Amino acid sequence: MILVTGGAGFIGANFVLDWLNQSDEAIINLDLLTYAGNLENIAGLAADARHTFVRGDIGDSALVTELFARFQPRAIINFAAESHVDRSIHSPEDFIQTNIVGTFRLLEAGRAYWNGLNGKAKQNFRFIHVSTDEVYGSLGKGEPAFDETHCYEPNSPYSASKAASDHLVRAYHHTYGLPVITTNCSNNYGPYQFPEKLVALMIVNALAGKPLPVYGDGQQIRDWLYVKDHCSAVRRVLEAGVPGETYNVGGRNEKPNIDIVHTVCTLLDALRPLIIGSYHALITFVTDRPGHDRRYAIDASKIERDLGWKPAETFETGIHKTVQWYLDNPAWVSNVQSGAYRTWLEKNYEGRS
Ligand code: NAD
Ligand code: DAU
């Protein structure tokens, strides 16, 4: 079995669902269920014996040590993190705790477990750390896309905390030989994304008739990847990645934010037309994010060449599926918006040991 952390969040939940669609290998899913963790994302697995959910903190060494000992996973895949740049600007402390201290404690528990393994189990064990392209900083117009040798120049408390975690992961390989692999991926979009991130926020705000807030001039560029393609890259890295290596993951889909917002509006105009007018009219330019990185772009040649990975979706097919998913799942959207998913959580966990 494998141990997945953060598997009730956006990418982690997609990973867990896709994994169990394609394999009978069991998953232990460790997630603290912060505001970003939503058990409704994995509600379909409630009666699935291959999936064990554990509510807990990656920084809880005793718990993680116990999970390693009890379940003897062949790998750990670390998705758990505080992941939203704007929140890191308002309250960076949580990012330091989870992304740095939490990853450190996970590495320590993983190292102790791995040291106790023998033979093939020890040789085959993997610690996969899921990271971001934001650790590389911001690109100027015309500069080549980030490859794995690009220097680290993080600009937000979020990206600085992820950079620190990447450095710790690297050091645990270099110093202790722990078989770690880090992936650095570009912006994801798709089902189950919490509506604080651009694509999800624009869809749910538009459906509610609310303004679509575009930071600054809207010309910041991100490199967009459909979440299930990120998940397939992580599976491929687990299968064939080389310990100690890092792999950049991206879809070669560089687009300015304003184009993303217009695309969402155009799709909604076609799929859920308004009686009068267009969703485009909701677009509102607002004050920019402090320290806003101008451009990210990923050079994914290494994972394409060495591991034969490539995305299945184009931006056009992926964004169409995404908008359609939000239209098809109004209950998920309204529970997230009203906060009902949290109330349900408290009710569900009240009185449990
Ligand atoms: P998310 O915020 O949607 O989910 C994070 C999950 O981690 C939540 O379920 C949350 O409850 C859980 N969590 C937070 N702190 C925890 C802790 N201390 N212990 C256990 N669980 C905890 O994030 P996401 O967008 O799914 O991102 C997942 C990972 O992928 C993150 O490491 C992020 O840095 C990375 N990443 C994200 C993107 C993107 O575009 N979203 C792109 C590249 C890399
Ligand atoms: O690049 C990978 C990263 O992508 C991940 O590591 C992060 O976890 C993930 O949150 C994402 O970071 P961004 O800051 O790029 O994502 P976000 O969706 O917050 O913003 C995308 C772009 O859209 C960014 O340039 C800011 C802009 N934006 C965002 C919001 C929420 C707006 O213009 N308006 C908004 O309301």
pLDDT digits (tens, 9 = 90+) for 222-271: 999 999 999 999 999 999 999 999 999 999 999 999 999 999 999 999 99
- Between 241 and 339, the more confident residue is 241
pLDDT digits (tens, 9 = 90+) for 122-132: 999 999 999 99
Q: Enumerate the domain spans of the chain.
A: 2-193+226-252+293-312
Closest ligand by atom to 104 CA: 1
Whether 323 and 264 have beta carbons less than 8 Å apart is answered as yes
pLDDT above 70 coverage of the chain, percent? 97
pLDDT digits (tens, 9 = 90+) for 150-198: 999 999 999 999 999 999 999 999 999 999 999 999 999 999 999 999 9
Query: Rounded CA gap, 122 and 120, in Å?
Result: 5
pLDDT digits (tens, 9 = 90+) for 67-104: 999 999 999 999 999 999 999 999 999 999 999 999 99
pLDDT at position 348: 54
pLDDT at position 350: 65
Residues 239, 240, 242, 244, Cα dihedral to 10°: -30
Please compute the mean of the pLDDT values over residues 199-216 and round it to a whole number.
97
CATH, domain 2-193+226-252+293-312, list 3.40.605.10, 3.40.50.970, 3.40.50.720, 3.10.290.10: 3.40.50.720
pLDDT at position 338: 87
Q: Indicate the pLDDT class of residue 341, thresholds 50, 70 and 90.
A: confident
Query: Rounded CA gap, 123 and 350, in Å?
Result: 42
Please compute the mean of the pLDDT values over residues 137-145 and round it to a whole number.
97
With both helix axes pointing from N to C terminus, report the angle between 340-349 and 330-338 in degrees, rounded to the nearest 10.
Answer: 80
pLDDT at position 258: 98
pLDDT at position 346: 64
End-to-end CA distance of the chain: 24
Active-site option among 158, 192, 247, 279: 158
pLDDT at position 339: 82
Residue 71, C-beta contacts closer than 8 angstroms, at least 6 positions apart: 1, 3, 28, 52
Hey, what are 129's tokens? 């750390």
Decide whether any atom of ligand 2 lies within 6 Å of the 255 Cβ: no
Please compute the mean of the pLDDT values over residues 108-130 and round it to a whole number.
98
CA-to-CA separations, 187 to 134, 309, 332, in angstroms, rounded: 9, 17, 22
User: In this model, does residue 353 exceed pLDDT 70?
Assistant: no
Active-site option among 40, 133, 166, 293: 133
User: In this model, does residue 345 exceed pLDDT 60?
Assistant: no
pLDDT digits (tens, 9 = 90+) for 56-68: 999 999 999 999 9
- Among 3, 4, 11, the mutation site with the greatest number of ligand 1 atoms within 8 A of its Cβ is 11
Decide whether any atom of ligand 1 lies within 6 Å of the 10 Cβ: yes
User: In this model, does residue 38 exceed pLDDT 80?
Assistant: yes
Decide whether any atom of ligand 1 lies within 6 Å of the 5 Cβ: yes
Decide whether any atom of ligand 2 lies within 6 Å of the 20 Cβ: no
pLDDT digits (tens, 9 = 90+) for 283-327: 999 999 999 999 999 999 999 999 999 999 999 999 999 999 999
pLDDT at position 349: 54
Decide whether any atom of ligand 1 lies within 6 Å of the 78 Cβ: no
Query: Rounded CA gap, 351 and 353, in Å?
Result: 6
User: In this model, does residue 352 exceed pLDDT 90?
Assistant: no
Q: Which contacts qualify for 13-16: CB closer than 8 Å, 24 or more apart?
A: 13/38, 13/41, 13/42, 13/192, 14/190, 14/191, 14/192, 14/227, 14/228, 14/230, 14/231, 15/77, 15/79, 15/231, 15/234, 15/235, 16/42, 16/45, 16/51
Q: Indicate the pLDDT class of residue 342, thresholds 50, 70 and 90.
A: confident
With both helix axes pointing from N to C terminus, report the angle between 227-240 and 10-22 in degrees, rounded to the nearest 10.
Answer: 60
133 is catalytic: yes
Average pLDDT, the chain: 96
User: In this model, does residue 149 exceed pLDDT 80?
Assistant: yes
Q: Indicate the pLDDT class of residue 340, thresholds 50, 70 and 90.
A: confident
Ordered alpha helix ranges (H), the chain: 10-22, 61-71, 85-90, 93-95, 103-115, 119-124, 157-176, 198-207, 227-240, 257-271, 301-307, 315-328, 330-338, 340-349
Q: What are phi and psi of 192, to 5 degrees?
A: 70, 15
pLDDT at position 274: 98
**Cα-to-centroid distance, 328 and ligand 1 (Å):** 24
